[in-house]
Structure 1
Amino acid sequence: MEDVTTVCVVLFALGFGYTNGFHDSANAIATSISTRALTPRVALLMAATMNFLGAFLGTQVASTVGKGIIATPEGQHGLVVVLGALVGAIAWNLITWYFGLPSSSSHALFGGLIGAALAGGIDVKWGGIRDKILIPMVVSPVFGFFAAFALMTAILWIFRKGKPNPLNRGFRVAQTVSATAMALGHGIQDVQKTMGVIFLALLTTNHVDADGGIPIWVTVSSAAAISLGTYAGGWRIMRTLGRRIIDLDPPRGFASETVAAGVLYTTAYVYAAPISTTHTITSAVMGAGATKRVSAVRWGVAGNIVLAWVFTIPAAGVVAACSYYLLNPVLG
């Protein structure tokens, strides 16, 4: 029974990775598509490829997800806890995707793990959540906003005498680089979250050692799941991120992507913090857009997005807890 449940958990984790891909594909490419720097299909193929490659560039974030959020549960009961967490995360991804809200798949997973762990009597590592999730959740969007504002202000000053049409063409070319960097950063961050939850399930059943590395099949399958999901696209969220927040031009798209990519790399490699790519790019878009004029940002839309951010962890946690209570009598 335990082996069957383990396979089921792995499949659900890969399913989460797939929904993460089509939910978050907008993160890397919506700005490039909206400024016509890349065509939609070229952008999706590039993002899918970079997401796949990013999975092989580190495991720090995966270790945080697998060992730093909840205490390692044991046996069949532990697998039910992890399965409940995944159901909660997938459900929230689908709900926010349906309404076109760029909420965080990462925080949906964290909320799912917390909710299922509390329902199942598993200890939650609140110190790790504070240091690795809550503080970065607040700091990274704030930094992204002001850093993008500063970079865009510098671009406006440096190219103040340039002609708009040649500048736009040049920044469209530059956006192919910044969008690629953003997509690679998304792969480094978000593929590792799927890897981390599979690693947690394997720890639960003693299929791996806590001090050992993540098996290569976990890396490859997680990368494939998120890449396939990315190529499937998330058009509802692309419209929100690419056009409804602000009508972007190529320089502002470049500034947003460059800042967001930098934040993703820094938090992954320096702090091993699993931050939200959605929060980071959205705040960077707002910051770059605010240099046009404050009223250029559609703050009503931005407010709805922030509300989705606030409710993601508790909402996914509630769904995960309910899922645990439903699954435990059958599988526990």
Structure 2
Amino acid sequence: MNANLAALAAVVVIALAFDFTNGFHDAANAIATSISTRALTPAAALALAACMNFAGAALGTGVAKTVGAGIIATPTSSHGLSVVFAALIGAICWNLITWRLGLPTSSSHALIGGLVGAALAAASGVHWSGVVDKVVLPMVFSPLLGAVLGYLVHTVILWVFRRARPARATHGFRMAQSVSAAGMGLGHGLQDAQKTMGVIVLALVTAGRQTTFDVPWWVIGAVAASMAAGTYTGGWRIIRTLGRRIVHLDPPRGFAAESAAASVLYATAFIWQAPISTTHTITSAILGAGATRRLSAVRWGMARNIATAWLLTMPGAGLAAAATYALVHLALGT
């Protein structure tokens, strides 16, 4: 029992470490556009994102239950916690690799890919219908929706403010971006923090510490604090990619992209309880808002590199998780 408790504690610590990497890896989701348009200073943007991440983490648990119970079958073997441990290590490895390369990939899909890879390596069950319905389909449609909304919102802004003085409009949208950046930070906490909560609850159920997938209050608090701390450290490589290397953003386009992406995050969390990628959503919204200038304004080569990394995220994290599980299995001599 003591060994089981120690293993559970180790998994919880690793889960919080993943949540920390999620925070600094995905800090760009909420603040890159506001920093690139000079609507907020880097320090103010990071502080705002960290606070809103913390608040968003406490808004709901629907996505957490989807991740905890809807992706893989609860591991029942004596090495069930090894599956969760391997999934987290695979996701952390992918986060660190893509952070080093400055690519805004999805921590959410890295975690889900890690769960699937570890479960397959352990010959445990995978809920493929849940993976398709709650992960793959939203992975396809949420970026499309983000791009379309980003384009439409900025098109409306151009029409409504067509007679406004450019300097005055720019100043006004810089101020408005404080609100839209806060909305993105809240949406990021609502979506991404819940995924870590779901994995911790999966570990608790696997270890026999609880029988339902309800999220305890201490899990919510610990995950929220860990993500907020990670966000505050910033992920400057990815912030530069999102804010400068895809398309040049001005404050109206930044506001349009953030507002569109936040709307998609709230709808999918509260209505469908689907664990979508905040990274995919804000990146596509930036592309949509930037395309209102002209299609050639978008650096499509960089966009293509990002899309390639998106496609590789789940299998890459899955392979890392499977390898980790095999090593743990070998180390335990079973």
Question: d(CA) in 1 for partners of 2:103 and 2:211?
Answer: 38
Percent identity for Structure 1 against Structure 2: 60
Q: CA deviation at 1:252?
A: 0.1
Question: d(CA) in 2 for partners of 1:147 and 1:87?
Answer: 35
Match of 2:120 in 1: 118
Q: Which amino acid aligns with 1:278?
A: T
Q: Secondary structure at 1:153's aligned position in 2?
A: helix
Match of 2:64 in 1: 62
Match of 1:238 in 2: 239
Q: Deviations over 1:188-223 (max 9, x none)?
A: 001101101000000101111225x21111111111
Q: CA deviation at 1:75?
A: 5.1
Alignment of 1:22-171 (within 5 A): 22-74=24-76, 76-171=78-173
Alignment of 1:147-226 (within 5 A): 147-210=149-212, 213-226=214-227
Question: d(CA) in 2 for partners of 1:50 and 1:148?
Answer: 22
Q: Which amino acid aligns with 2:225?
A: A
Q: Is contact 1:75-1:205 (8 Å) kept?
A: no
Q: CA deviation at 1:158?
A: 1.0
Q: Which amino acid aligns with 1:117?
A: A
Question: d(CA) in 2 for partners of 1:293 and 1:158?
Answer: 19
Q: Deviations over 1:23-62 (max 9, x none)?
A: 0000000000000000000110010001011111000000
Q: Secondary structure at 2:108's aligned position in 1?
A: helix
Question: d(CA) in 2 for partners of 1:76 and 1:250?
Answer: 54
Q: Is contact 1:82-1:201 (8 Å) kept?
A: yes
Taking only aligned residues, the RMSD between alpha carbons, in angstroms, comes to 0.8
Q: Which amino acid aligns with 1:266?
A: A
Question: d(CA) in 2 for partners of 1:322 and 1:261?
Answer: 35
Question: d(CA) in 2 for partners of 1:260 and 1:147?
Answer: 8
Q: Secondary structure at 1:71's aligned position in 2?
A: coil
Question: d(CA) in 2 for partners of 1:6 and 1:26?
Answer: 31
TM-score by length of 1: 0.98
Question: d(CA) in 1 for partners of 2:216 and 2:318?
Answer: 28
Alignment of 1:309-324 (within 5 A): 309-324=310-325
Matched positions, count:
331
Question: d(CA) in 2 for partners of 1:224 and 1:74?
Answer: 30
Question: d(CA) in 1 for partners of 2:156 and 2:103?
Answer: 30
Q: Secondary structure at 1:259's aligned position in 2?
A: helix
Q: Is contact 1:5-1:76 (8 Å) kept?
A: no
Q: Secondary structure at 1:274's aligned position in 2?
A: coil
